């Protein structure tokens, strides 16, 4: 697993404190996309939100497909597309455009992002310093515009994909002390990168030897979960992790 997968979208100065807290506001890309759509959500609006969340331009999305469905008593819009070596699937609630589910699967999942549960405006560090004071590097919009792969510079420091390599952020994430949280539909959740860290710690796989083959976020109206697949050589680990508590709900090892 490439080292930049964990925390590549955060400025090193924020995570050096060992605790990153993300506010409930949406990332700039997704918020802007939602402002431009009409509710109830139509296919075009759903595509705009999903693509913004994934940090993918419409012109770069292959096999873009949108469908209206009925799921658990709610009208939803499903969006599917491919970008690079990954395939993406989104399910959005028609009434308000909320992302109920997303998944990323492919050969380069560790290089992908899903902004809604990764970052947001108003990030603060443990000592209370605001993201704005540290520079624009923590916002999804600034990072994506600098370089879609997450490699770029921020005012807080230069990021080469793992925010200063083996420096402050890398050490913080490696020890499992960095807890990234976000708010979805009024509920505080751990970010998906923290879910990956929980699975890595439980499996005992060294980060350098692990391949993230799939990650999925799902909200079924009651529970928020992350599902992910880790591979080490021919061994495969499948985890389901409670996105509120970080508890491992299910694990399978093949």
Domains within the chain, CATH numbers bracketed = 3-191 (no CATH), 192-254 (3.10.450.40)
Residue 67: pLDDT over 90? yes
User: Strand, helix or coil at 14?
Assistant: helix
Q: How many helices, marked H, and strands, marked E, lie in the chain?
A: 7, 14
Task: Spell out the residues 6+ positions from residue 147 whose beta carbon is closer than 8 angstroms to its own.
Answer: none
The rounded mean pLDDT for the chain is 72
Which residue has 């799939």 as its token pair? Answer: 214
Q: Are 51 and 35 in contact (CB under 8 A)?
A: no
Task: Select from 117, 97, 112, 109 the least CA-distant residue to 27.
Answer: 117
Cα dihedral across residues 24, 136, 190, 46: positive or negative: positive
Look at residue 125 in the predicted model and tell me its pLDDT: 27
Task: List b or e across 25-59, with b for residues whose CB sees 16 or more CB atoms inside 10 angstroms.
Answer: ebbbbbbebbeebeeebeeebbbbbbbbbbbbeee
Identify which has the larger pLDDT, 186 or 182. 186
The string of pLDDT tens digits covering residues 97-151 is: 989 999 999 999 988 888 776 533 322 222 333 333 223 333 333 333 333 333 4
Q: CA 220, 109, 177: angle at the middle one, nearest 5?
A: 75
Residue 28: pLDDT over 80? no
The string of pLDDT tens digits covering residues 195-230 is: 999 999 999 999 999 999 999 999 988 899 999 999
Chain centroid to Cα 140, Å, comes to: 11
């Amino acid at each position: 697993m490439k080292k930049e997968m964990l925390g590549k979208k955060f400025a090193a100065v924020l995570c050096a404190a060992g605790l990153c807290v993300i506010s409930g506001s949406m990332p700039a890309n997704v918020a802007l996309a939602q402002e431009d759509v009409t509710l109830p959500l139509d296919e075009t609006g759903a595509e705009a939100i999903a693509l913004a969340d994934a940090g993918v331009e419409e012109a770069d999305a292959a096999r873009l497909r949108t469908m209206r469905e009925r799921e658990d008593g709610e009208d939803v819009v499903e969006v599917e597309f491919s970008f690079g070596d990954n395939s993406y699937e989104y399910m959005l609630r028609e009434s308000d455009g909320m992302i109920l589910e997303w998944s990323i699967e492919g050969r380069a999942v560790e290089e992908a992002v899903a902004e809604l549960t990764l970052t947001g405006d108003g990030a603060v560090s443990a000592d209370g310093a605001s993201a704005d004071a540290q520079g624009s590097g923590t916002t999804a919009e600034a990072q994506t515009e600098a370089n879609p792969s997450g490699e770029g510079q921020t005012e807080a420091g230069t990021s080469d994909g793992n925010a200063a390599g083996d420096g402050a952020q890398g050490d913080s994430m490696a020890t499992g002390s960095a807890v990234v949280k976000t708010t979805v539909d009024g509920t505080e959740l751990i970010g998906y990168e923290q879910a990956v860290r929980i699975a890595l710690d439980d499996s005992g796989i060294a980060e350098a030897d692990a391949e993230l083959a799939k990650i999925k976020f799902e909200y079924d109206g009651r529970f928020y979960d992350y599902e992910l697949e880790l591979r080490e050589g021919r061994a495969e680990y499948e985890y389901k992790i409670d996105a509120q508590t970080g508890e491992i709900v299910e694990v399978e090892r093949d």
